[in-house]
Structure 1
């Protein structure tokens, strides 16, 4: 006699998906690893288009981010607002998450719909240490967003003085 898998109702499936999304939001890397190892899709999204990777990285969970990247989560999967996980990490200023994304294969100059790179986001929010990390990983100091603004211009526009001075010194 073979065991038949239990089939969930649609309501049960939605409840399970919500629980999984909470696991990512709270950064439970061990549970994510178990679920992904059992076949959970690494690119599961919520109703706002936030993927497991977006939730883990935005909420500052480097280990969960590493697990998701290992299981093939797409770092270029934007949410419904056109934002990428790498931009969220730059916005939050979380260098450990940024490292997990970049070392896991996220393109250092990947952009969402607005054309802003992580370097531009780091510059906007005066994150000098992150700027230096991104540059060591090959970020393009000359890249421009959809409005034609580069990282130094983004820092100036946001009043991020340390970042602006740092970038201007690098530009010469």
Structure 2
């Protein structure tokens, strides 16, 4: 399988404009599956072939977002070392850091905090990684986020802040 992918990657990279869309889609699927499973050998094949690491699927997920969300710390490390952008947002504006916090992947979240992303980067709902940490009671990360410069008092459109969420205060939309 790895030989097939290596050959396909060489073929696609050599004649990318003329490559069959099905081959590109299939390669992209292999890439994202490798990230989800933490298949570092397969990811290294893509990396060595010069594959675009920040490629996104139909939901905007990058391999780094998928690896972080699925707890694949070694895959996260390989992707970051190869130049994957930790600041990439999916179609809802969520980042790999937000996904790691949501899933309780604290080691991965701390690794992602060491990147050059804005700690107050917001998703489409106006939420920050610190708000996720507060909401999901990842209070041990709040100090790390604050140390990185995150504003724990920043509010989303509903008036939720990381500090309020950590205290169990959740403001919900008013239904009419």
Q: Is TM > 0.5 for Structure 1 vs Structure 2?
A: yes
Structure 1 residues 47 and 126 mapped into 2: Cα distance closer, same or farther (>3 Å)? same
Matched, 1:128 2:139: yes
TM-score for both structures, normalised by structure 1: 0.79
Structure 1 residues 37 and 70 mapped into 2: Cα distance closer, same or farther (>3 Å)? same
Three-state SS of the structure 2 residue aligned to 1:100 is helix
What is aligned with 2:159? 148
8 Å contact kept, 1:87–1:121: yes
Matched, 1:111 2:142: no
Shift of 1:58: 0.8
Which segments of 5 or more consecutive residues in structure 1 lack a partner in the other structure? 159-172
* Ranges of 4+ aligned residues in structure 1 off by more than 3 Å: 5-8
Shift of 1:63: 2.0
Structure 1 residues 147 and 75 mapped into 2: Cα distance closer, same or farther (>3 Å)? farther
Return the alpha-carbon distance in structure 2 between the equivalents of residues 66 and 110 of structure 1: 21
| 1:29 alignment partner, one of 40, 43, 47 | 40
TM-score for both structures, normalised by structure 2: 0.77
Matched, 1:12 2:13: no
Structure 1 residues 66 and 106 mapped into 2: Cα distance closer, same or farther (>3 Å)? farther
> How many residues are aligned here?
155
Return the alpha-carbon distance in structure 2 between the equivalents of residues 108 and 63 of structure 1: 23
8 Å contact kept, 1:70–1:104: no
Return the alpha-carbon distance in structure 2 between the equivalents of residues 92 and 9 of structure 1: 36
Shift of 1:112: 1.3
Structure 1 residues 106 and 69 mapped into 2: Cα distance closer, same or farther (>3 Å)? farther
Return the alpha-carbon distance in structure 2 between the equivalents of residues 157 and 26 of structure 1: 36
RMSD over equivalenced CA pairs, Å: 2.1
8 Å contact kept, 1:86–1:106: no
Three-state SS of the structure 2 residue aligned to 1:126 is coil
| 2:96 alignment partner, one of 85, 93, 106 | 85
Shift of 1:135: 2.4
